[in-house]
Structure 1
């Protein structure tokens, strides 16, 4: 619960800082070049993930879990980035303006690009992962996993009904 609240706060705070930077500093976001650079950076991040997973695929395949090409494809497409990157970019933004190298404009661009990559990854990759899973035929359960899932649902239902039955004996709740 604490992690969920912390994630939510980081996303809200990052959104406020990004909007304040975009709306408050016209010199940083002139002529749409920042938006073009953001799209190019998104493409670069996707290509980088392909290169890294492709280079490490033999190791991932033969050691540990035993990754196959379909799982590697999902690893490339659905690997989202979020709260950690945003919190680091917030710390860079807060430190900007204290040195010649890290100007306030650089801090604003840093958080803009980080937030933009997080947003694009969540919107583009996150919303299409289901279709990629379906296309790769990875959205089906094996018979064994289906039996385990059905048994788990059956046990959870029985435990819930048993606990509800015990609530009737509770002196504060009484009979319902």
Structure 2
């Protein structure tokens, strides 16, 4: 009984992160998957069309997280992240990041998140790609300041070096929620 209660509480905490546009996009993706699946059942007398529509529904099912992310980042929750400084200070093992978030999306934001991935300098392309996919040294800063449409917020951040005597390039990304 306690496990079920804990599961429901975790589900309710997760539901609070979604807003109305999130639910609308997820509902549209679900309806498209359902449409192609039902179309494959309706066209069961034509094996080629039934198989094709069933495969399309499967592609939408497994690609739905990527479709959702693309729609939200490109249209609904679009931001313009401008970096003025994104480098190490000359005489110290400290990295200084200065920039600005601009809301160019369709909705107001409750806050923004800035993530800085430290990639060691002088690596081969494959190891650099590995550090971008699975970062070893990362700093995440959460700004809980609301950002209305077409409004900008500046930020300044000082981060100590994760390892002394090692040079890093910074891969800085931002997202708003």
Q: Give the TM-score normalised by the residue count of structure 2.
A: 0.27
Q: Which has the higher contact order (CA 8 A, sep 6+)?
A: 1
More helix by share: 1
More strand by share: 2
